[in-house]
A and B are shown apart, each in its own frame.
Chain A
Amino acid sequence: MENNNNKILEKVSSERRDFLKLVLAGGAAFAAPMMTSFSIDGLWAQTSSSTSSSSSSSSSSSSSSSSTYSSYCSAIKFEYDGPQGFEAHFSDPNRAARMNGEVTLTISAPSNDNGKGKDDDEKNVNAAQTTRLATVLTISRNAIVSDAYIAVDGIRVVTLLSGKGTIYPSTSLNYICDFTQLLEALAADRATVDLGRVGHVLEVRVEGRDQSSSGTRGSSWARSCRPCPSSSRGRSRRSSRCS
């Protein structure tokens, strides 16, 4: 690729050559060109891609004072019997331009009515296949975040906001096997939200609360997120609830 790069570099001005060299030196594999544009005071993250393929994610509206990004990520097999909604609030105390925000996780499963007349096992398998994790990331006005992740033990496992302005599907739950593991990590206070800002990454310790209750703001995930213990995973699918 070196010769090809040199030919390309000759096509740009000397002022831009070093920058392009830097871009090409990374050896990044080809990906369809993609550009996401949004207003600095934006209400929406608008994704533009030259390819027709897209994720199943979507952007959502926000209040007039913040930017909101949201999407869904489908769980593959998921056994969980805890609260179905959480909020995590954060702020950046180290910045002159203060940034506040929140991450909301909503776990949704199909209603039991969907499986009327079916065998219990089949119903539970269907539920496991269609359980979804919806995440909304809201940041304060004028706060610019290039990307955002949930990180567990310092390893980014879920992308809340990427170049596409969306959450990756569940297949990109890198280094983690399933949502149960993710919830266990959140419950154990091992998770942070990493917010990429120009020049640095802000690591935010997630402190959330159960949306379904009027719990104290700032209570920990450990109090609101109670995944089934690992030992329950091998049990019959006749019941997906923890004992």
Chain B
Amino acid sequence: MNYPKRIEELEINPADDGFIIYQPDRDRVHYLNHTAVVILELCTGLNSPAEIANMVQEVFKLNHLPQEEVEDMLAMMKGEGLVVNS
């Protein structure tokens, strides 16, 4: 199964309404809002996307399971090299 894992060497800096991540090796800068950062931090390599969606639902007390949102975000993060499959 796919267990996303955030790469170790990310430098996450708080910004005004979210967080900024620098990836100097890729010459990339990423701006993430709070929800995206929570998802990123839950990418420990031990949580599946479904489990991450469940945790996001719990922490934000959502009525719906944000599975699609989480999976889409994980795909974007993988595309940008912020997470890898464990």
Contacts and interface: CB of A to CB of B under 8 A. Distances in A.
Interface in A1-54: 1, 4-5, 7-8, 11-13, 16, 19-20, 23-24, 26, 28-42, 48, 50-51
Contacts of B28: 37-40
* Residue of A36, A38, A196 with most partner-chain B CB within 10 A: A36
A33 B69 contact: yes
Given A35-B31, A38-B28, A198-B15, A30 B41 contact: no
B16 A33 contact: no
Contacts of A36: 30-32
User: Which secondary structure dominates where chain A touches chain B?
Assistant: loop
A234 interface: no
A198 B13 contact: yes
Given A8-B58, A147-B17, A33 B39 contact: yes
A38 B29 contact: yes
A146 interface: yes
A16 B43 CA distance: 11
A33 B47 contact: no
A163 B80 contact: no
Contact of B20 (A29, A48, A146): A146
B42 A34 contact: no
B9 interface: no
17 contacts: A1-B59, A4-B59, A5-B59, A11-B44, A20-B41, A30-B35, A35-B36, A37-B28, A37-B31, A37-B80, A39-B28, A40-B22, A42-B29, A50-B68, A146-B15, A146-B16, A163-B33
Closest 8 CB pairs of A and B: A30-B60, A50-B72, A33-B36, A146-B15, A33-B73, A28-B34, A33-B35, A36-B31
